[in-house]
Every structure is written in C-alpha cells, then in structure tokens.
Amino acid sequence: MKEAHHLLKKVFGYDSFRPYQEEIIEHVLAKKDALVLMPTGGGKSICFQIPALMLEDVTLVISPLISLMKDQVESLLANGVEAGFINSSQSEAQKNQILMKARNKELKILYISPETLASGVQTWLRDFKFSLVAIDEAHCVSMWGHDFRPEYKMIQEIRKIDPSIPFIALTATADKITKKDIVTNLGLKDPRLFTSSFDRPNLSLEVMGNIPKKEKQQEIIQFIKSQGDKSGIIYCLSRKETEEWSLALRAAGINSEYYHAGLSPDERSQVQEDFVKDEVPVICATVAFGMGIDKSNVRWVIHTNLPKNMEGYYQEIGRAGRDGMPSVTRLYYNYRDVVLLTDFAKDSSQSELLLEKLDRMLQYAEASTCRRRILLAYFGESLQENCGNCDVCKNPPAYLDGTILSQKALSCIKRTDEKVTMHVLIDILRGAKNAAVYNGNYQELKTYGIGADMSWNNWSHHLIEMKNLGLFEVAYDQHMSLKVTDFGNDVLFKGTQIQLTAPKIREAKKEKAARGEKSTRTPVTTTELTKQEILFDRLKMLRRKIAVEKNVPPYVIFNDATLHEMTIELPRTESAFLGISGVGNQKLESYGYQFMDVIKTHLEENRPKISTYEETLILLKQDLSLEEIAQQRNMQVTTIYSHLAKLFSEGYPIEIHKYVSEDEIKRIREVIQGMELTNALKPIHEALNGEIDYGKIRLVLSVIESEVINIE
C-alpha cells in the first residue's frame, strides 16, 4: 500500500488515512465487492478515488445529483486528477467530448447519473472497459431508503456486461433493512461490510421544544447574526415556510435565499451555486437541498420543524462541519409538526414503518439524556460516555422524585377515559377555564386543578419525560389522545417510583425586564479580531479571489480547516506548505506561493515592536560585522558600538573581545585611572591621542560600569 500512501499525500495532501479507508482500498484493489457505511464528511470519496488512480482503466462513479458530480470533478481537477462527468445538463457535443476522453483513457474517473446509466447501459456503456464501479448514495436503491431512485436498480446490468468488475457501494445512512436491499438490488457478490463510526464530535447538538413562532424567529435571527458571514442552512417543513423564513431574515439584514422543488431547475441551480461559492451565506430550504453539496464549510444547520426520521435528520445535520471544524446544529419542534408528519405518514403505503420512525425521532427530541448517545444507538453504535457537546450534557439535569407528579397526571388521563391530548391534559391539571375543558365537562373531575401550582411549561416538560419513560403513549390515530401503559398502571396503582428531571427555566423577556435583568441570550456584539482571525480572513479573501477567477467553489481551492492550520503553522517555504493537511503538489504549484505571500506580509505587518538596540542584536546574531550592520541600518559604526554598550549594560551576552582588543581595553583602563568615571568620552579620547574610536571607548566604559555595580 506504499503507492496508496504516496498518492494520498501527493494528490490530496493528507499524511494518513482515516479509519477503514486503507482497508477498504486494499479490499477494492483485490477486486472484491464492498458496502461502505461512512458518515457525511467521513471520507467516502477517497475509498474509490485512490484505487481509480492505481487501476489501469476508467473508474465509473454513479452519483444521483448533478451538483455533487460537478463539485467532485472540480475538486479532482484542482488536485491534478483527470476526471469528467456526463449528465442531462450537458449538450450532446459536451457528452461526446467526455466519452471520447474516457475511451482514449485520458480520464481516470467518469461520473454519471443513474438516469444516464439507464439510457446508456444497452448502448455506449458496452463499449467501455471499467476497472471499478462506485455507487455513491447507495441507499437510493432501496424502497425503504429515504431517497429511493428506481433507476439505481439498472446498475445490476453492468454486471451482465462484465461480471468481473468489482463494485463498491457507499452511503452515509442505512438501517438494517436498507443494507439488505442494497446488497440484493445492486447484485453485490459476497460483499464485505465496512461500517465507520457515525460519531461527529465536532457537531454540537441542540433541541428546543414548543417555543412560540415569534420567539423562535427572534432566537434564530440573533444566532445567525452572532455567526457573522459563516454559511448555514435552515431546513423547513414546507415550501411556503422556506420563503417566509428567507423574507424574515432579509428584513433583519441577513443575506439569504430560499430553495424548494417549486422553483425552476435554473432557479434552483443558481441558488445552490450562490451558496456553494459563498455568494449567499444562508439558505432556507426543504430537505431536498444539500444532498448533492460537497461544501465543507457549512458552520451551522437549523431545523425549524421536527424531521420525519432519524436517518434524514442525521444526513441533514451532517452537512455541517464536513471539514472537521466545530459547527452547530439546532432543532426546533412542536406538536403541530407531529400532527402534520403523522398525517403524511398515514397517507403512505408504508404508514406503519413511517409512524414508527417518526416516533423515534420525537423520542430523540424530547429526551433529557445525552443526545449523541441516542443518535448513535439508533445506528447501532454505542457511546460509552456522555458526549459533552449537546445541550443536555452542557446543562445536565437535576433529578427529583416524580412519583406523585406522575400519579396526578396518570389519574387525570384515566378519569378522562383516555380521550384527551397532552395540551388539554395540562389545562385540566392546571384548572384552566376554557372551551376545551368545558366542552368535555372536565371541570367536574376530581383531578381538575390538582396541578395548578405548576406552570404550563413545567407540566409540558414532565409529561414529555413520562412519555419517554413509557408511562403513557400518544395514539396518533385517535386525535393524539393519551393512553396509559402497563408501566403507567404500575406507577399509578402499585406506587412504582419515578425520577424526573428539573425543567429548564425559560422566562419571558417582559418578566426579566420588569426585574431589571438582562437577557441571557448571546448578544450580537462587535469584538476586536485576533491576529490569527485577521490572517484567516485574509486567506479567505485570497481563496475567494482565486475561486472567482477559476469559477469554482472556494473550498475546491482549500477548505476552512486547511486555512485554519495555515494560521497556526504560518508556512513560508515549500516544504512547510506541503506539510499542511489538504495541500498536495498540484495545489502548492497552483496557489501555494500566493498564500505564502499573504502569510509573509501578515507577519511583517505584525512583527513585534522592538527597540533600535534589539534590531542591532538580531543582526549580530546573523554574524554580520559592525560595518555591515551600520551599512544595512544606514547608521554610523560609532552608533552601532553605542548599541553594543547599551545591550551589554542591560545584561545581553555581548562578546566584547570580538570588537575591542585586549591591548585597547588595557590602554583605556590605564587612561581613566584617576579620572572621575563619567560618560564624557572626549577627555578619554584626547588622552589616548585619538588612537581609539569613541565607540570602542563607550563599549569599554560599559564593561567598567558593570564591574563597579557588581562590586557594590
């Protein structure tokens, strides 16, 4: 695997493989099939791109989205790898030109869409000899996957052309049933399953439940402003909401666009391109947006509604921080989301499965335990300790005895014949006087008002926990009514003990203002940038300039993590620049010297202010003669001697005998004997008949002064 390591560094600029990459490459080179489950940003592409460079014939990559192909090909070309793509966005002449290159082996990697495959599998594809077939987003072949594409089933036809071609199927999300479908529908032969860790520790996980719409909007606007010009995505449940959010952000002075399937292909393409090229930092979109984006510097992702399943949620938050840099993910949800998504699921032919997946998503949102552990457990991975980077870990809950609270709630549910929603249940417990209570005659219940001492939000918090603990369940098919479980009956009738967590305090701004308290929300302030941040911004500006000139996304030049490493290591030589992760030979040659010039200029401008004496000391350390120093500094040699005297008197290790001989020191000492020790050099110079320079006299006087001080 020496060649693979060499290519990794030379072409892609990385010193070492990520977990499983080397093993996968070795397996593929042995012409064996593989199914690779690796999280978004985990390095799936390297698993087939390096074998492609090592194999003789063209590697065929089947990818579902045009934008993803374009991004990956641009990145490969920037690294000096000959690659091309064919899809519906091209003219016939453009397609034929790419095919000609592939036939002449002028390409190492050819990307095509599944639709292009379906139309060409009986014609032009039969004229090619491929070394490897890579199927990206392989979950699209399964009807159980969240992005089913029937054209993926045509991939098996390639096996009929040449059964010996190895297949590598790659995906970031697949549950047990989807993995089985991938193997069957792609016709994989005895494939080895490689499952990388799904943990993305650089992503912080936050969930906010049941926040009023206006307050949610204010929170999100404030958060985005605190992020400066960093890129982010806001995911919405409907097309209408994407437009509403974008308008609200623009009204707040935030540059944003919206994206949904109702836009024309050209409009969608333009929005996506503007985002990828950092022209627009914020996109408000439906979940279709982002699947084909290879943008590495998305710094935050916000869901304004509950996602419909954990697979989709994981893939969507995975679009943040693909370069490994710290990034924020935030999920807002309420019960309106649950009702809408439940209705959607019921209309599907897979309603039972979709309802189950929605319920798991809701359990994640309502949990008061480490969110990363819940998320990873869903994908079959166990995290032994709490992550420390989710809202639950950052604000660990305090526990309290919740047995009495639970019994009050469960008794109330029973007394309503289990026909009320959570919202109405809280109204009954708190003794509300509204239509929902009076229409059901619930004010006559013994449990009416028994929880009036607790706020609505606190009851909501505890009831969600009770649901997660399994004390009751929500009957989505019976108007969201609550049903007590067997475990709930044990708590209610047998006194089984229950622990709940103390609710988080969320106070209205008006209440805080009345007490003269300031908001605890992060204020949007302008702070002075550090020197490292200033350099990072300068490197980003250069990257943007080059990207515009070459008409490619900025991250194709260098990603944010690479620029960040430059601000720390400050490379100014070729070897040092090649030592930066993400810098290969081609990128050094293409852009390296421009980036090094920016770093050198930055260092020159920010060189620490030093005294004129210290400037002389720096030149002394370079073994320059006093005459050379005087010439370089445009000064008299006598002045340089005075600098030496000053440096010596302040304790710097100056080698006096390099500049004044023993005989000269002896003569000066003899002359000044009997003289009063002063800084007057002229009498000494005259007593020496002008035979020793003023500078040397000054230097010897500093030695004598030092001796006198030491004696005293």
- Which residue is it, tokens 């509204």? 434
Q: Classify strands 399-401 and 499-501 as parallel, antiparallel or unpaired.
A: antiparallel
State the Cα–Cα distance between residues 451 and 492, nearest whole angstrom.
Answer: 16
pLDDT at 547 exceeding the cut of 60: yes
- The pLDDT of residue 439 is above 80: yes
DSSP character string of 138-187? GGGG-TTSTT--GGGGGGGHHHHH-TTS-EEEEES---HHHHHHHHHHHT
- Helix then strand then coil, % of the chain, to nearest 5: 50, 10, 35
Average pLDDT over residues 39-61: 89
Please tell me the predicted confidence (pLDDT) of residue 526. Answer: 40
Single out the residue of 41, 63, 68 nearest to residue 276, CA to CA: 68
Helices 560-569 and 531-550 meet at what angle, rounded to 10? 130
Q: Locate 530 and state its tokens.
A: 């550090």
Mean per-residue pLDDT over the chain, rounded? 85
Q: 399-503: which CATH architecture?
A: Orthogonal Bundle (1.10)
| Residue 2 to residue 675: CA distance in whole angstroms | 78
Lowest mean pLDDT segment, chosen from 327-341, 411-425, 623-637, 670-684: 670-684
The pLDDT assigned to 424 comes to 94
Domains 203-394 and 531-605 share a fold: no
| Angle formed by the axes of helices 694-711 and 662-672, nearest 10° | 70
Q: Which fold has domain 612-711?
A: Arc Repressor Mutant, subunit A (1.10.10)
Q: What angle do CA 46, 49, 55 make, to 5 degrees?
A: 135
Q: Give the C-alpha distances (Å, rounded to integers) separating 674 from 427, 664, 669, 671, 677.
A: 104, 18, 10, 8, 9
Give the 3-state secondary structure of 659-691. CCCHHHHHHHHHHHCCCCCCCCCHHHHHHCCCC
DSSP track, 51-105? HHHHSSSEEEEE-S-HHHHHHHHHHHHHTT--EEEE-TTS-HHHHHHHHHHHHTT
3-state SS, residue 277: coil
CA atoms within 13 A of residue 704's CA, in its CB half-sphere? 19
Cα dihedral sign, 562-293-129-149: positive
- Among the residues of 13-58, which ranges form H helices? 21-29, 46-54
Q: Yes or no: say if 282 and 255 are a contact pair by the CB < 8 Å rule.
A: yes
C-beta separation of 172 from 164 below 8 A:
no
Q: What integer pLDDT is reported at residue 510 of this predicted model?
A: 40
Mean pLDDT of 144-149: 62
Mean pLDDT, to the nearest integer, of 310-339?
Answer: 90
- The DSSP code sequence of 529-542 is PPHHHHHHHHHHHH
Q: What is the pLDDT of residue 531?
A: 85
206 forms beta bridges with: 330
507 — pLDDT class (breaks 50, 70, 90): very low
- State pTM to two decimals: 0.66
- Domain spans, the chain: 2-195, 203-394, 399-503, 531-605, 612-711
Question: Beta 130-135 vs 167-171: how paired, if at all?
Answer: parallel
Taking 70 as the threshold, does the pLDDT of residue 508 lie above it? no
Angle at 293 between CA 288 and CA 299, to 5 degrees: 100
| DSSP symbol at 467 | H
In the predicted model, what is the mean pLDDT of residues 264-288? 89
pLDDT number for residue 248: 95
Q: What local confidence, expressed as pLDDT, does residue 68 receive?
A: 77
The answer to whether the CB of 130 falls within 8 A of the CB of 117 is no
Rounded Cα gap, residues 121 and 113, in angstroms = 12
Question: pLDDT digits over 287-317, tens only?
Answer: 767 655 678 899 999 999 999 988 889 989 9
CATH of domain 203-394: 3.40.50.300
Whole-angstrom distance, CA of residue 41 vs CA of residue 114: 22
Higher confidence at residue 428 or residue 679?
A: 428
CATH superfamily of 2-195: P-loop containing nucleotide triphosphate hydrolases (3.40.50.300)
Cβ–Cβ under 8 Å, residues 126 and 112: no
Identify the band that residue 468 occupies on the pLDDT scale cut at 50, 70 and 90.
low
The CATH architecture that domain 531-605 belongs to is: Orthogonal Bundle (1.10)
